[in-house]
Structures are given as structure tokens and as C-alpha cells.
């Protein structure tokens, strides 16, 4: 594969930026912040898409890092590359709501489908992980990831066992590991322990429930429902008859009270005979005092006797006769006076005499009335006394019936309470019996589930043993087959390092891609080498791994400020090796001019791109 053109339409700081690349050595130069790393990641994004992460990592993923500075709704680019004699145009839209990829063969104008959005169908094993650990060396990221060791093992094992690199050992191991985690995660040990606790709890509850049932049975034996109903019916009948008797006694008492009221009503006074000057409304009716006499007699005793009024009348008549005989001899004023006195005596005497006679008649009539009334009262008192004795008897009978009613009500209340208590105990026992049945059923289910889980655990143990055995066999096989690629990889890295450094040293690479230096006495960790030597060693291992993964396929080598720790001599050796022996395209992104000066000194041809033009 040879990258011929790059169109950074909208990517990071670049807007409609175009560059052409040569088929062999390419130097892309620019100072700090010129966009060298942006170009590197643009090539990576065109190959594999712009990764988008989630959560906190989303703020620093490739998609977020290289969003266009201008026109953020347009996030796209184009790459033109040549592969196996055919020219292709690859277009990608990275914008999150319009993600798309289009590959067109410019020689045939045919659209090439990319189901997974990558170019792995063109170059076998051309994955993002392999790119990042072999031909794509990002700035300060020359070290290989630990997971890449499994990729190389997979490649060697697949080729040794099947002859195909599409059968992935790492995928098989990952699948076995997922299955192992699933079995561990889905292990029923925790459920079995929880069921054991639940079974213990159910048995305790069942025993407590059984004890409560026995206690309630003992309480129910103290009661007889038929006896309680019979006593309740008896008390209800007694209350009914008692209530009827009380009603009858109350009615009789009411009748006696009404009769006594009529007997105690005041008698209508009998009016004595009156003269032509009086009427019944002119005098009030009097009753007896508390001493048994009429108060009218007291008033009569305080007036003048009737005979005295007669004397006055006679005196008036005599005075008038005398005045008639001697009026001629009496002066007129005196005569008038005597006439007035005579008239006064006659009127007073006449009125007093008439009034006295009337009062005497009324007194005689009042005495007769009082005697009749006294007789009526004596008769009424006799009847009242008889009614009183009868009413007292009725009251006593009523009080006795009320007392009997209260006793019956108390008895009825006790019966009701006892019957209600009996029903509550019976309902509680029914509820406890239902609980007992429910707990028994739950216990049976728990025991059945316990047995099922134990069977499941046994099966899972068998499956887990099978998974562990298969995983162990594959890992042992990978370790054994590592010898088939580990030594060639180490030899190739050692050869390149010896050419770069000019020293004869042998490097050892184990199955985890951990490198050590063989100094003929011991294996020394490469961490003791200088930073520059480590960078060179990592590059040598990357190139050896690329040879193992991509075989004879020509893939571009992209280096982003990889030579910062190289001295001039070793940089010259590396660039000379690239120019003479590396069969693919090399793209070097640098902030210095050493690479150009060295290539010019070696008289090597290269394509130069200045990002600051």
C-alpha cells in the first residue's frame, strides 16, 4: 500500500489542506504546533475511523481531540492510495450524526464495500491494534502494549496450526476467559448459602408456628360454642321478657300518676247566693289556710257590727225629723250643715246596714262551701293514700325488674365477649394454620431449589474445569509455539539493532514481549539501556513484528518524531537502512531538519512536505 494524497478537508486545525506523498521516503516537516501529530492521527483515522469513548474518557478520545477548529459540523477527509497496482479513493465523514465511509476504485469507478469500516480485507491483519504496535509509531509511544504479545502469539499459533491468520488464538483465549468469568460470576455458591439461611429461617418459623397452634388449640378447648350460644340465647330471652315487664309496670305507674293528678286538682268554689249588686266575678274564691280556717272570717271580724250601721241610720232619720220641725229657728248656714250631716248619717247607716246583711249572707255561704270542700279533700286524701301504696309497690317491682335487667345485660355482655374471644381465637388459629401451610410449601420449594443449585454447581464445576483445561492447553501451546516466532523476532531485532548501534549484542524476547540483553553471562533487562537505545530497540521489534504479521505485504511505515533520542550516526544508519532495504513507504514527521540533511548527504531521493507553507 502506498499513500499518494491526503485531503484534510476539516480535521483538527487543518481546513482544505492537501498534500502529495511519494512511494518511498517522505519527510513532513513543521515546527511545534504545526500539526504533525494531527497528520499522523488523520492517517490513522482514515484507516480505522475516529474512536469515540464514553464517560470521562470521551473528553480526550480521538474524536474529541481532532474536532475541526472551524466549521465543527463538517468533520471529514479523503485519502488516495495505491494497492496491488490499483488506485483507490477513501472518504470518511467523522461527524457523530453523519458517520460514513466510502471506498472507490478510481480505475474501475467501482464502489468497494467496507462492512466493518476498515481495510483489513485489503491487507490481512491490518487492524488498529497491529497498526499502533508495528508500523504506526506515535509521538512518545514507541513501546509496545502488553496485549500485543498475545496478538503475535496468535499469529504464530494460527499459522503453525491452521495456516490461516484469521483463526484467532487471542479470540479463543478471550472467549474462554469470558466463559470462565461467566461461570464464576454465575456461580450458585452465593445462592446456595442464601438458600441455606432461608431454609434455617423457615424451619425456625415452622417450629414457632407449630407452638402457637398448640397454644391456640389449648385456649379453644376452654370454650364450647354451643354452650356459649345457648347462654346467649337464654340471656336474650330473659332481657326481652324483663323489658316487657318493665314496660307494663311503667305504664301502670303512668296511669296512677294521671289518676293522682286528677284527684289533687283544686275544686271549683261553690258560689254563695248573691244579691242584685254582685256577680261571681266580683269576689275571689278562697281556700283553707294551713290552720284549717277561712281567711275571709278574719276580714269580717275587723269590720263594724251591723247594728251600729242601723243606729247611724236611725240617728240620721231622727235628726232629719227634728230639723224639719225646728228649721225655721235655725240659721241657714247651720241648717245646711245639719242637713248635710243628717244626709251623711242616713247614707252611711243605710249603706253599712245593707253591706252588713250582704256580708253575713256571704259568710254563711262560704262556711257551707268550706265544709263541703273539707269533706272532698278528706275523701281525696284517702284515695291518694291508697294510690300511693299501690304506686310504691309498683315502684319496688319496677326497681327489682331494673336490677334483674342489669344483671341480665351483664350476663349477656359476658356471653358476647366470650363468644367474640372464641371467634378471634378460632380466626387466629385459621390464620396460623394458613401460615404454617405457606411456610411448609416455601420450605419444600427451598429444599427443591437447594438440590437444583447443588446439581447446577456440580455442572458448573465440570464446565469450569473444562474451560481451565482448554485455556491451559492453549496457553501452553502458545508458549511452545512462541519458540517458532520468538527467536526469529529476536534475531531480526538484534540484527537491526546491531546495524544501528554497530555493536554485536543478542536480544532475547519472551512470550510476553519482555526483552532482555544476553551479555554471554546473564540476561540483563533492557531497562538498563539508554533512552535512545530503548527507542531504537522498540523500533527494531516493531519492524520484526510487522514482518511477522503482514508477511510480504507492503505497508507504509509512519513515524511521528520518533528520532528525538537518536544521535546523528544512528539516525544516519536507520535512514540508510530505510532507503535501501525497507520495501514499503516511509513517512517521517519531524520538527527538525536533520533527516533532510542526512538524506541529502546520503544522496537519497525523498519527498518533502512543509506544513508551514
What are 105-139's pLDDT values in tens digits?
A: 999 999 998 888 888 777 877 888 888 888 888 87
Residue 321 or 558, more confident: 558
Tens digits of per-residue pLDDT, 183-238? 666 566 677 778 888 888 888 888 888 888 888 888 877 777 778 788 888 888 88
In percent, the amount of the chain with pLDDT more than 70 equals 72
Q: Give CA torsion, residues 400, 402, 405, 411, to 10 deg.
A: -80
Per-residue confidence (pLDDT) for residue 8, from 0 to 100: 93
- Which band of pLDDT confidence, cut at 50, 70 and 90, is reported for residue 91? very high
User: Which class is 2-146+555-610 in CATH?
Assistant: alpha beta
Cell representation of residue 23: 512511494
Q: Is residue 11 predicted with pLDDT exceeding 70?
A: yes
| 487: confidence class by pLDDT, cuts 50, 70, 90 | low
Cell of 111: 464502489
C-alpha–C-alpha distance, residues 170 and 181, integer Å: 16
Q: How confident is the model at residue 586 (pLDDT cuts 50, 70, 90)?
A: very high
Model confidence over 451-484: pLDDT tens digits? 888 887 787 777 777 777 777 766 666 555 555 5
| pLDDT greater than 50 at residue 299 | no
- E strands along 425-552, which residues? 506-509, 515-518, 523-525
pLDDT band at 549 (very low <50, low <70, confident <90, very high): confident
pTM over 0.75: no
At residue 563's C-alpha, the angle toward residues 558 and 567, to 5°, is: 150
Three-state SS at 612: coil
Summarised one tens digit per residue, pLDDT across range 39-67 is: 999 999 999 888 777 766 566 678 888 88
Q: What per-residue confidence (pLDDT) applies to 550?
A: 79
Q: Write down the domain spans for the chain.
A: 2-146+555-610, 256-427
Q: What is the pLDDT of residue 2?
A: 93
Average pLDDT over residues 243-261: 77
Amino acid at each position: 500500500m502506498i499513500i499518494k494524497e491526503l485531503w484534510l478537508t476539516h480535521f483538527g486545525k487543518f481546513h482544505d489542506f492537501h498534500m502529495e506523498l511519494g512511494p518511498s521516503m517522505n519527510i513532513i516537516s513543521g515546527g511545534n504546533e504545526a500539526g504533525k501529530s494531527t497528520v499522523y492521527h488523520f492517517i490513522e483515522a482514515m484507516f480505522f475511523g475516529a474512536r469515540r469513548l464514553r464517560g470521562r474518557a470521551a473528553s480526550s478520545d480521538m474524536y474529541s481531540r481532532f474536532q475541526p477548529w472551524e466549521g465543527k459540523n463538517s468533520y471529514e477527509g479523503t485519502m488516495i492510495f495505491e494497492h496491488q497496482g490499483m488506485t483507490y479513493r477513501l472518504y470518511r465523514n467523522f461527524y457523530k450524526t453523519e458517520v460514513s465511509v466510502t471506498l472507490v476504485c478510481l480505475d474501475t469507478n467501482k464502489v468497494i464495500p467496507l462492512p466493518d469500516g476498515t481495510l483489513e480485507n485489503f491487507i490481512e491483519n491490518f487492524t488498529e491494534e497491529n497498526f499502533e504496535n508495528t508500523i504506526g509509531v506515535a509521538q512518545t509511544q514507541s513501546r509496545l502494549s502488553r496485549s500485543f504479545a498475545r496478538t503475535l502469539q496468535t499469529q504464530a499459533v494460527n499459522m503453525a496450526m491452521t495456516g490461516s491468520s484469521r483463526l484467532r488464538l487471542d479470540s479463543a483465549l478471550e472467549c474462554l476467559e469470558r466463559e470462565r468469568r461467566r461461570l464464576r460470576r454465575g456461580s450458585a455458591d452465593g445462592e446456595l448459602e442464601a438458600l441455606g439461611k432461608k431454609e434455617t429461617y423457615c424451619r425456625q418459623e415452622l417450629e414457632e408456628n407449630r407452638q402457637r397452634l398448640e397454644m391456640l388449640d389449648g385456649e379453644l378447648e376452654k370454650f364450647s360454642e354451643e354452650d356459649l350460644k345457648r347462654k346467649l340465647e337464654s340471656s336474650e330471652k330473659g332481657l326481652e321478657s324483663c323489658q316487657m315487664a318493665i314496660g307494663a309496670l311503667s305504664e301502670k305507674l303512668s296511669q296512677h300518676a294521671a289518676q293522682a293528678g286528677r284527684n289533687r286538682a283544686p275544686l271549683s268554689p261553690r258560689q254563695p247566693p248573691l244579691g242584685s249588686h254582685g256577680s261571681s266575678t266580683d269576689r275571689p274564691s278562697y281556700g283553707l289556710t294551713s290552720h284549717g280556717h277561712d281567711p275571709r272570717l278574719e276580714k269580717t271580724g275587723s269590720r263594724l257590727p251591723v247594728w251600729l250601721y242601723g243606729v247611724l241610720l236611725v240617728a240620721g232619720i231622727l235628726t232629719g225629723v227634728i230639723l224639719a220641725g225646728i228649721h225655721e229657728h235655725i240659721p241657714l248656714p247651720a241648717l245646711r250643715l245639719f242637713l248635710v250631716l243628717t244626709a251623711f248619717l242616713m247614707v252611711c247607716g243605710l249603706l253599712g246596714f245593707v253591706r252588713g246583711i250582704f256580708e253575713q249572707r256571704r259568710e254563711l255561704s262560704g262556711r257551707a262551701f268550706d265544709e263541703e270542700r273539707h269533706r272532698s279533700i278528706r275523701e281525696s286524701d284517702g284515695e291518694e293514700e291508697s294510690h300511693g301504696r299501690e304506686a310504691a309497690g309498683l315502684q319496688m317491682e319496677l326497681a327489682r325488674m331494673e336490677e334483674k335487667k342489669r344483671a341480665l345485660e351483664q350476663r349477656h355482655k359476658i356471653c358476647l365477649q366470650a363468644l367474640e374471644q372464641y371467634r378471634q381465637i378460632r380466626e387466629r388459629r385459621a390464620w396460623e394454620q394458613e401460615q404454617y401451610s405457606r411456610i411448609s410449601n416455601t420450605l419444600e420449594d427451598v429444599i427443591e431449589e437447594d438440590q437444583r443449585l447443588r446439581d447446577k454447581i456440580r455442572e458448573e464445576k465440570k464446565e469450569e474445569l473444562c474451560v481451565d483445561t482448554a485455556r491451559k492447553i492453549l496457553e501452553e501451546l502458545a508458549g511452545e509455539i512462541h519458540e517458532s516466532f520468538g527467536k526469529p523476532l529476536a534475531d531480526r531485532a538484534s540484527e537491526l539493532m546491531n546495524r544501528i548501534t554497530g555493536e554485536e549484542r543478542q536480544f532475547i524476547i519472551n512470550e510476553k514481549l519482555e526483552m532482555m540483553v544476553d551479555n554471554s553471562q546473564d540476561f540483563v533487562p533492557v531497562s538498563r539501556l539508554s533512552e535512545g537505545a530503548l527507542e531504537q530497540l522498540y523500533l527494531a521489534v516493531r519492524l520484526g513484528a510487522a514482518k511477522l504479521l503482514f508477511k510480504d505485504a507492503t505497508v507504509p511505515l509512519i513515524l511521528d518524531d520518533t528520532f528525538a533520542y537518536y544521535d546523528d550516526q544512528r539516525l544516519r544508519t536507520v535512514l540508510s537502512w530505510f532507503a535501501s532495504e525497507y520495501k514499503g513507504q516511509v513517512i517521517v514527521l519531524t520538527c527538525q531538519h536533520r533527516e533532510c540533511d542526512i538524506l541529502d548527504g546520503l544522496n537519497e531521493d525523498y519527498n518533502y512536505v512543509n506544513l508551514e507553507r
